[in-house]
Amino acid sequence: MNDESILSNLIAELRRGTQVLAVLGQLHKDQYGYSLLQDLSTKGIKIEAGTLYPLLRRLESQGLLVSQWDTQETRPRKYYTLSPLGLETYTSLVKEWQLLIDTMNQILKEEQ
C-alpha cells in the first residue's frame, strides 16, 4: 500500500462516518434512490450509487426508514422517508455531530 492509497483510504473512512447522517438529513421528505443520489451530489456529498442503495435498505431494516413502492408512474420507484425512530435517531445524531465538531475543532486549534 503506498502513501496515496493510505490517504485515500483514510478519507473514505472519514466520509463513511458522515454518510448516514447526510442521508438521514435528506429524508425528511420522500425520496427514491436516484433522486437522493443527485440531491446529495449537488450538495457536495460524495457517495457512490453502489454504496447508497444498499445503505438505504440497511437503514430501513434497522427501522430508521420506511419505504413504499410507487407504481403509479411509468417507472415503479421505491420511496424512502424517515420513520419516527429515524427522526429521533437523526436528532440525537445531529447533537452528537455538533459535539464532535466542537471537540475536533478545539483539538485541531490547539495543535496549530
Distance in Å from the first CA to the final CA of the chain = 29
Q: How far is the CB of 81 from other proteins (least distance, A)?
A: 15
With a CB cutoff of 8 Å and minimum separation 6, the contacts of 68 are 30, 78, 79, 81
Nearest to other proteins of 49, 100 (CB atom):
49
Please tell me whether residue 4 binds other proteins under the rule CB under 8 A: no
Residue 22 cell numbers, joined: 447526510
Q: Which of residues 28-87 bind other proteins (CB under 8 A)?
A: 32-35, 48-51, 53-55, 57-58, 69, 75-78
Q: How far is the CB of 38 from other proteins (least distance, A)?
A: 9
Q: How far is the CB of 76 from other proteins (least distance, A)?
A: 6
CA distance 63 to 66: 7
Please say whether the beta carbons of 82 and 21 come within 8 A: no
Residues that bind other proteins (CB under 8 A): 32-35, 48-51, 53-55, 57-58, 69, 75-78
